[in-house]
Amino acid sequence: MTEGKISKKIVLFAMPIFLGNLFQQLYNVVDSLVVGNVLGKDALAAVSSSGSLIFLIVGFINGIFVGAGVIIARYFGAKDKKELSIAVHTTIAFGIIAGIIVTALGMIFSPWMLKMMGTPEDVLPNSIMYFQLYFAGGIGIVMYNACMGIFQAVGDSRHPLYYLIIAAIINVVLDLLFVAVLGYGIGGAAIATVISQFVSAILGFIKLMRVQGEHRIHIKQIRIKFNMLIKILKMGIPTGVQNSVIAFANVIVQSNINSFGSVAMAGCGSYSKLEGFAFLPITSFSVALTTFIGQNLGAKQYERAKKGARFGILTGVLLAETVGVLLWILAPVLIRFFNSQPDVIEFGVMQLRTEALFYCLLALSHCLSGILRGAGKSTVPMIVMLVCWCVIRISYITIMVRIIPDIRVIFWAYPLTWMLSSITFLIYYKKVDWLHSFVKTAK
């Protein structure tokens, strides 16, 4: 990432991430398609409410791996082989411990959290079953993200793609087998997802044990070096806190949607699967920008970092808006894939057409956030997103739903808070010379 044409490097790095995220998104979509069409809207509602709660638990740990990726990218760009190896092995050791914790927390607290979200009684048993089985594979989920973070930090976005393609195929086959053929119900969908995620984690770990380079894993060297862990946590905790608190805010949003009944849950859940696809170019360029900025700042290629930031922002925003327009046009057709009931389709289309044309704002916030993380300023995105996407979003929904008891009030919370975060990031980006402050700190 520190040599060659900037646009080519960023696009070639972002493309496998995009395709990998695409196949990862297929996990949830296939679950919803099979469950919604085979088991009905109540089962679909149980699966569809999963995203916010899963990310609430997993998001914090994944934020730590973002911090680990920034540290690894810096050492890789600076060609500091010793520190790079220590960072990689500390990341893996932390991942193993974190995976065990996530598994335990998810299985124990899922029923309580689902009840706190106001999950309807007709959906609750299936939701609890799905979540507990899903989190039984928590260590697989966490370890895949740990391995993926290491690959991406050293500029390898291809191998995570290969493993996700394999996992997605396994997930599709097992979903059809367990749910449609063997009749295992919603539990079968969860088990299929868990198995596929373990496969991707194992493949990633094995590859890291065989690569040539200082990011190679040696079993005997897997241990936590506390000085390195402190660096990783310092960089990653702000992102982890941001992920978890935003996920908590989304849980509050989901609980408000739940109050409109299982039909609204199914319709909005169907939209959330489509939204996941729309976010792919956004997250892909955000990750690419973090790695690009991190490696180039580590190599002291400051002007190159600045040019890459401009290209990434422009490309990410244009791609996101293009996807948003296409989804807006095709909304009824796409929602119908998940469930053919007219009332379910109505809710899904309503949410999609409220939010889709504002994806450019979401992309702008994420790209600027990725740049700042790569520059070591992970606290800034945390503060901006916590205020805009959590405090303001929850306050708005809490107040306005009581005044106007219409579900569209909830939908509008997203475009409004995306706009606020974008404006705030732009002001910071223009007024504060993030590159100059990094150079000054490095000296």
Give the rounded distance of the alpha carbon of 235 from its chain centre: 18
Instruction: Out of 19-28, 183-192, 235-244, 324-333, pick the least confident.
Output: 19-28
Give the rounded distance of the alpha carbon of 312 from its chain centre: 18
Instruction: Out of 40-49, 103-112, 294-303, 383-392, pick the least confident.
Output: 40-49
Q: Report yes or no on 118 lying in a domain.
A: yes
DSSP for 41-68, written as a single string = HHHHHHHHTHHHHHHHHHHHHHHHHHHH
Cα separation of 126 and 186, whole Å?
7
Helices and strands of the chain, counted as H and E runs: 18, 0
In this prediction, residue 45 carries a pLDDT of 63
In this prediction, residue 44 carries a pLDDT of 64
Residue 137: exposure state from Cβ atoms within 10 A (0-12, 13-18, ≥19): buried
Cα separation of 377 and 14, whole Å?
22
Cα separation of 13 and 7, whole Å?
10
Going by pLDDT thresholds of 50, 70 and 90, the confidence category of residue 153 is: confident
* Residue 37 pLDDT exceeds 90: no
Going by pLDDT thresholds of 50, 70 and 90, the confidence category of residue 392 is: very high
In this prediction, residue 41 carries a pLDDT of 63
* Average of per-residue pLDDT values in the chain: 82
Q: Report yes or no on 376 lying in a domain.
A: yes
Going by pLDDT thresholds of 50, 70 and 90, the confidence category of residue 407 is: confident
Which comes out higher in pLDDT, residue 314 or 45?
Answer: 314
Q: Report yes or no on 198 lying in a domain.
A: yes
Nearest to 144 by CA among 91, 203, 224, 97: 203
Q: Report yes or no on 183 lying in a domain.
A: yes
Cα separation of 397 and 436, whole Å?
39
Going by pLDDT thresholds of 50, 70 and 90, the confidence category of residue 31 is: low
- For the residues 124-132, what does the mean pLDDT come to? 77
Cα separation of 388 and 165, whole Å?
35
Angle at 221 between CA 377 and CA 145, to 5 degrees: 45
- For the residues 293-318, what does the mean pLDDT come to? 85
Q: Are 388 and 413 in contact (CB under 8 A)?
A: no
How big is the chain by its Cα radius of gyration, in Å?
21
Q: Are 302 and 442 in contact (CB under 8 A)?
A: no
- Pull the structure tokens for residue 322: 């293009």
Range list of H helices, 39-137: 41-48, 50-78, 81-116, 124-136
Structural domain range at position 357: 6-442
Going by pLDDT thresholds of 50, 70 and 90, the confidence category of residue 416 is: very high
DSSP for 184-195, written as a single string = -THHHHHHHHHH
pLDDT tens-digit map of 161-199 = 888 888 888 888 888 888 778 877 777 877 888 888 899
pLDDT tens-digit map of 312-368 = 888 889 988 998 999 899 888 888 877 778 888 888 888 899 998 999 999 999 899
Nearest to 290 by CA among 367, 346, 187: 367
Cα separation of 123 and 354, whole Å?
26
Q: Percent of the chain having pLDDT more than 70? A: 88
In this prediction, residue 235 carries a pLDDT of 82
Neighbours of 124 (CB within 10 A): 16
Neighbours of 443 (CB within 10 A): 5
DSSP for 389-420, written as a single string = IIIIHHHHHHHHHHHS--HHHHHHHHHHHHHH
Tally of domains in the chain: 1
The segment with the largest mean pLDDT, out of 40-54, 284-298, 353-367, is 353-367
Q: Report yes or no on 242 lying in a domain.
A: yes
Q: Report yes or no on 402 lying in a domain.
A: yes
Q: Report yes or no on 82 lying in a domain.
A: yes
Q: Are 185 and 39 in contact (CB under 8 A)?
A: yes
* DSSP symbol at 219: G
In this prediction, residue 357 carries a pLDDT of 92
What is the pTM (predicted TM-score) of this model? 0.70
Instruction: Out of 11-20, 26-35, 339-348, 416-425, pick the least confident.
Output: 26-35
- Pull the structure tokens for residue 358: 């504002």
Q: Report yes or no on 1 lying in a domain.
A: no
